[in-house]
């Protein structure tokens, strides 16, 4: 059945209160909700009191950019997952299927090992390089079959994982610790700078996918069905792969490998509103963004020490996905 407009509206609007309420979540419990609200309505005025300045720093320089970055990354990974699942005609696909995460992890490790200070650029570049290599290896006679693409993705992923292991084996223990921490995925270093560097590629990538979301429906029906209605399947796949990789690579570059979001969120949203990508793509962006902000809220408030968000998304997402697949009427026939 068609999703009700109320349900759709709820999916689109729910992130607003969640994002706002997340401003209260964090290890610092120096202030209550009245102070936060009061502070919000005086933004721009000179903060003379030390407590007020602390509040200002925590809210505006730590929590707000972190919440916004978490929202963008959650949305980007989810939309990228939607696009790749439609493209591969397979609901088991996630944005990391073509070696993006292992490529990005290797790039980050190299940057940490040589102390280049260009960690984001390295992981972004190697993430894209890995996906590009998978695509080119799978291409034969001007066509890219889905099976060869997945196979080349597995090969490229394995290759970069091996290279990452070599780097980890060679570096000193302090750098090794940094590399391991990075691969766990985290948002605790989020700031306006990271938000600025990630927002561009994420918004461009998700924007393009949002614009062409109807074509995802056509691609999801298969190459023959796509070609018979006047769309070139290879060109369309490439058109979707580039923005999906751009958005996911930018996310991984600033926050490390955050697993299962791109797999779980499209599933959840599909169960709520159906598989039509015209609705699924924007709803996944909103819901995915909200989901990651909520998980991050848990990651930074459950224990006295912050737990890396990538660990949390796997801990929560894995069992939850299995539960849903067993409980709900999801009978994929592949």
Partner 1 sequence: MTDPNGLVPAARIDHLYFSYAGKPILQGIHLQIEEGSFTVFLGPNGSGKTTLLKLIAGILEPTSGRITVYGEGLNEMPLRKRARQVGYLAQQQQIIFPFLTEDVVLTGRAGGIRFQPKTEDIDAAVQAMKDVGISHLLHKPFTELSGGEQQLVMIARVVAQNPKMLLLDEPTSHLDLHYQARVLRFIQEWKANGHTVAAVLHDPNHALIAADRIVLLKQGRIVGQGGPGEIRVQELEDVYKTRLVPLSFRNQTVVFSDVDGGFSSDAVHRSEQRSKT
* Interface positions with partner 1 (CB under 8 A): 1-2, 86, 89-91, 211-215, 217-218, 220-222, 224-232, 270, 274-276, 278, 332-334
Alpha-carbon dihedral angle through residues 323, 325, 329, 334, given to the nearest 10 degrees: -170
Min dist. Cβ of residue 259 to partner 1 (A) = 23
Closer residue to partner 1, CB minimum distance, 279 or 300: 279
Residue matched to tokens 């439609």: 86
Please name every residue paired with 140 in a beta bridge, in sequence order, or none if there are none: 143
Cα 121 from Cα 278, distance rounded (Å): 32
Min dist. Cβ of residue 231 to partner 1 (A) = 6
Closer residue to partner 1, CB minimum distance, 2 or 29: 2
Contact 72, 205 (CB under 8 A): no
The residues, any chain, with a CB within 8 Å of residue 224's CB and separated by 6 or more, are none
Closer residue to partner 1, CB minimum distance, 1 or 46: 1
DSSP assignment of 166-191:
HHHHHS-HHHHHHHHHHHH---TT--
Closer residue to partner 1, CB minimum distance, 169 or 332: 332
Min dist. Cβ of residue 82 to partner 1 (A) = 11
Closer residue to partner 1, CB minimum distance, 70 or 233: 233
Contact 250, 256 (CB under 8 A): no
Min dist. Cβ of residue 217 to partner 1 (A) = 6
Min dist. Cβ of residue 59 to partner 1 (A) = 39
């Amino acid at each position: 059945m068609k999703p009700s407009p109320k349900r759709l509206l709820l999916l689109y609007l729910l992130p607003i209160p969640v994002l706002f309420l997340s401003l209260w979540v964090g290890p610092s419990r120096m202030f209550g909700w009245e102070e936060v609200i009061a502070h919000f309505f005086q933004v721009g005025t000179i903060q003379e009191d030390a407590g007020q300045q602390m509040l200002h720093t925590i809210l505006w320089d730590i929590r707000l950019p972190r919440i916004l970055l978490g929202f963008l990354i959650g949305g980007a990974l989810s939309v990228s997952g939607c696009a790749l699942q439609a493209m591969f005609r397979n609901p088991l696909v996630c944005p990391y299927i073509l070696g993006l995460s292992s490529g990005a992890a290797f790039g980050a490790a190299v940057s940490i090992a040589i102390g280049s200070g260009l960690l984001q650029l390295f992981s972004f570049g190697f993430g894209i390089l890995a996906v590009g290599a998978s695509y080119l290896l799978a291409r034969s006679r001007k066509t890219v079959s889905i099976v060869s693409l997945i196979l080349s993705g597995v090969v490229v992923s394995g290759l970069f994982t091996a290279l990452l292991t070599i780097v980890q084996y060679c570096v000193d223990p302090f750098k090794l610790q940094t590399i391991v921490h990075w691969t766990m995925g985290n948002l605790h270093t989020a700031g306006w700078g990271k938000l600025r560097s990630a927002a561009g590629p994420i918004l461009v990538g998700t924007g393009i996918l949002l614009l062409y979301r109807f074509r995802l429906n056509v691609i999801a029906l298969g190459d023959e069905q796509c070609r018979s209605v006047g769309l070139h399947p290879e060109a369309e796949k490439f058109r979707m792969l580039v923005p999906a990789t751009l958005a996911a690579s930018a996310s991984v570059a600033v926050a490390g490998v955050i697993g299962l979001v791109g797999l779980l969120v499209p599933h959840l949203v599909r169960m709520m509103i159906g598989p039509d990508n015209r609705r699924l793509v924007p709803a996944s962006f909103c819901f995915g963004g909200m989901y990651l902000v909520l998980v991050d809220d848990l990651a930074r408030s459950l224990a006295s020490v912050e737990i890396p968000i990538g660990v949390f998304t796997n801990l929560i997402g894995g069992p939850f996905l299995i539960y849903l697949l067993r409980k709900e009427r999801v009978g994929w026939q592949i």
